[in-house]
Amino acid sequence: MEILLVILYAVGALVGFGAVIAIHEFGHFIIAKWADVKVFRFAIGFGPVLLRQRWGETEYALCALPFGGYVWMLGQEDGPEGDTKPATDVPIDPRSFLAKSGWWRMWIMLGGVLANLISSALLLLALAFWGMPLVPPVIGDVVPKVVGADGAAVTSPAAILGLRQGDRILAMNGERVRSFDDLHIGTLFHSGDPVQLEIERSGQRLVLPAAGSATVPLVYDRQKGGGTLGIVPADGSRVFTVDGELPAGGPSYGERILAVAGQPVVGLTGQQITARLMPFLGRDVTLTVARDGSPPRETTIRYAGADSRDGDSAVAGFPVRVRQVLPDSRCAGILFPGDLITAVDGSPVAGSYALTCRLRASLDAERDIVLKLRRGDEERTETVRGSWISGARILGLVLEEITTGHIPFLPEGLGGRPSGLTGTGVKSGDVLLAMEPQTGGFAITWGQGSIHRVPIDQALATALAARERPHLLSRIGRAVTGQVPLPPAALDRIRLGTVRVVTAPAAGVLPLTDDAGSPVDVSLDPAVAKVIPLLNPGDRVVALVPTADGFALEVVRDLTGIQRRLVPVAPVGTSISFRTETVPYQLSGPGEAFVMVGDAAQVMIVKTLLMIPRFFRPADQGGVDATKTLSGPVGIFRSLWIQLQFLGVESYLRLLAFIGLNLVLVNLLPIPITDGGQLMFLAVEQATGRPVVGWLRNLAMIAGLVLVIGLMAFTVGLDILRWTGLL
């Protein structure tokens, strides 16, 4: 059944793409017929003909490559060669395209774009009155940092402005915002410019930044390829995935969650509903759910997080350590890097996700939170409160799980049950040498030995932490930067934490031995080479750990009793996730429908045209990265597929209308093989009184064909790389 649905959605996407092309070609065709031009063929696609049918004098064909189409008219193959003999010497059939006046030929050339423009406008108008499917401009999450053009982390405008989860953006720089698409287009066009937002928060309208405050410019986001606010759209309340334990009568795909434990959640975003569910991690919770148009019902599940593996680290029992305390946190001066959090409000906790879940209810209720800590050999109890940081109420702590290094204590597993580490035989004081997530649990290597911490400076800690993993040796047995991979035969013998330093490095090479005593030399980069003089022969570096004063290398000496086993992790319960969804837009009046159609045409035609020069500008001048923003036929086909499968027919039709408007622009560009190029030739002919000479026209056509094929290959390549996850 699922395969049939996939085929159905794929066919639907292909039919939609072909329909937009058919409408364009029909525009040429109908005006050509109106002008009494003889049409040999009306074709959808290019290449070999798959299906053909003749009605009257015209053959209607479906071709193999659905990336365009054409109308073959009399006169397009029998034109005069302007460089060999005058046009007046060539007899022209009165029904030839070339026999028609300049005005008729212009209208025939414009027929395709007019058909796309009219059909798209009518479709959008109908959708506007029906309820235009839009992603509401509601903030789901604030991204505190974005990657700038130079690769450095930059504070996002949203974080500076103080935007929060659930804020609805009403206007940006004076332009009305109806959807998240409006925000996306606006940020691309105003990258580097100061931004002013009008928002709605808890029923109140606010303007950010406030009057008299410093301006906040939009920043370039290298990952998105253009300007950004640093926000994520809100998820809807409709269930997208259900995984893990699947109880009979549990929530299913497409149902909406109306209440959590008897508390209504109607009107909340998916992120906010997830926050209401988080305190129930590993416990039973009753949900009220309903499918659109059906009566509500109640069901009980054991909540396992947004992903079925969210609670795995809590079941395994990995201790949680504070890696960083954010400057804006109320915990600053109370908690310090290196503190171990053992309990929240009296409940033992393991795993960073489980700890976050335990905090959630108190954070949302703005209550005091009692944390039990271990700081070195001292046990402490501290009372803290949350703060609004990066758009959410949080403690402002960066947490990490101890998956390698010294295990000072073993917390209870989820729900007060013995942890997986305890069941495997790990004891307090043991050293975890390696951890590998696997299906059904975690493969761990551990042993016993004396622990030593070697303090290092901030610069070196930053250099080491910037590696793929903050360890001297990665799990595949090469230096952190891996300048020279180890021989294949050595890979099976080298694992993080099982390699010993033999002597000090010479000429950038670290001599090592594995547990069998066989030598293995690893090339070092400068950051790693700086660390080696701090170590003794036989040391095993197992972790880079935060301390109250900075960072230290955690080193184990005299290691014995090395074991490797799988820590089994049973399913915690049922995981539920949400995704962005569209909502029918409510018109303020009939006139707004026409305004929305005009805005869509302006964005897809005028603003897209104005976007082209930005592809050639540097990032600091409002440039846009074409590799992140352009899409070709494959990408369009995939978008249609996704719209039809996940967002519904209305969203699918809206995208078809946008594709039609985009075809208006593409076909009006003055490229010789497009309608715009033909109009350019016609304009020259009308201005000079004679056609463009044949050799020049042919040269221009070849150049245009090369340009279009090159652009097509570029965009299709980008589409394929994105689809395969390589870009």
Predicted pLDDT at 722:
81
Domain boundaries in the chain?
2-132+635-723, 136-234, 239-303, 431-567
Closest CA to 292 of 344, 317, 263, 255: 255
Model confidence at 287, pLDDT cuts 50, 70, 90, reads: very high
For the stretch 420-428, contacts whose Cβ atoms lie closer than 8 Å and that sit 24 or more positions apart, written own/partner, are 420/315, 420/316, 420/317, 420/567, 420/568, 420/569, 421/316, 421/317, 421/318, 421/567, 422/317, 423/567, 423/568, 424/565, 424/566, 424/567, 425/563, 425/565
Task: Say how many Å lie between the first and final Cα of the chain, rounded.
Answer: 31
In the chain, DSSP finds a helix count (H) and a strand count (E) of 18, 36
Share of the chain above pLDDT 70, in %: 86
From the options 3.40.50.20, 3.20.20.370, 1.20.120.790, 2.30.42.10, give the CATH code of 136-234: 2.30.42.10
Identify the residue with better confidence: 471 or 23.
23
Average pLDDT over residues 624-632: 85
pLDDT at 643 over 80: yes
Q: What is the pLDDT of residue 292?
A: 84
pLDDT in tens, 67-109: 678 888 988 754 333 333 344 455 678 888 888 888 999 999 9
Distance (Å, whole) CA 298 – CA 260: 10
Q: Which of 2, 25, 77, 592 is catalytic?
A: 25
| Burial of 368: CB neighbours in 10 Å, binned 0-12, 13-18, 19+ | exposed
- pLDDT computed for residue 85 by the predictor: 38
Alpha helices in 643-693 (DSSP H): 649-668, 675-688
Note if the pTM is more than 0.95.
no
Look at residue 671 and tell me whether its pLDDT is greater than 80.
yes
Residues 6+ apart with CB under 8 A from 47: 63, 64, 65
C-alpha 241, offset from chain centre? 18
pLDDT digits (tens, 9 = 90+) for 196-209: 999 999 899 999 99
Predicted local distance difference test score (pLDDT) of residue 518: 61
The residues that bridge with 392 in the sheet, in sequence order, are 389
What was the pLDDT predicted at 501? 44
632 or 663: which leads in pLDDT: 663
Q: What is the pLDDT of residue 723?
A: 77
Q: What does the block give as tokens for 222? A: 């290298």
Residue 511 pLDDT level (bands cut at 50, 70, 90): low
650 is catalytic: no
293 class by beta-carbon count within 10 Å (0-12 exposed, 13-18 middle, 19+ buried): exposed
Query: Measured between alpha carbons, how far is 581 from 233 in angstroms, rounded to an integer?
Result: 9
506 vs 10 pLDDT, higher one: 10
pLDDT in tens, 462-492: 666 654 333 343 322 233 223 333 333 333 3
Q: Can you state the angle between helices 633-642 and 2-34, rounded to 10 degrees? A: 120
Tell the residue number behind the tokens 């580097």, with chain if given.
192
Please, how many CA atoms are within 13 Å of residue 130, restricted to the half-sphere of its CB?
14
Residues of the chain above pLDDT 90, percent? 45
- What digits encode the pLDDT tens for the residues 230-268? 999 999 999 999 998 888 888 999 999 999 999 999 999
Q: Tell whether the model's pLDDT for residue 632 goes beyond 90.
A: no
Are 587 and 128 in contact by the 8 Å Cβ rule? The answer is yes
d(CA 258, CA 287): 8
Q: What is the pLDDT of residue 273?
A: 95
pLDDT of residue 489: 38
Residue with the bigger pLDDT between 691 and 420: it is 420
CA distance 239 to 146: 29
Looking at residue 219, what is its pLDDT?
Answer: 93
pLDDT of 334 higher than 80: yes
CA angle 476, 481, 487 (to 5 degrees): 45
Q: What is the pLDDT of residue 522?
A: 55
How many other C-beta atoms can be found within 10 angstroms of the C-beta atom of residue 1?
A: 5
Give me 342's structure tokens: 């053992």
Domain spanning 239-303: which superfamily?
A: PDZ domain (2.30.42.10)
239-303: same fold as 136-234? yes
Q: Is the pLDDT of residue 547 over 90?
A: no
Write the secondary structure of 73-103 as one string of H (helix), E (strand) and C (coil).
Answer: ECCCCCCCCCCCCCHHHCCCCCCCHHHCCHH
Nearest CA among 322, 351, 329, 377 for reference residue 551: 322
Give the CA radius of gyration of the chain: 32
What are the residues whose beta carbons fall under 8 Å from the beta carbon of 400, sequence distance 6 or more?
Answer: 320, 321, 323, 352, 546
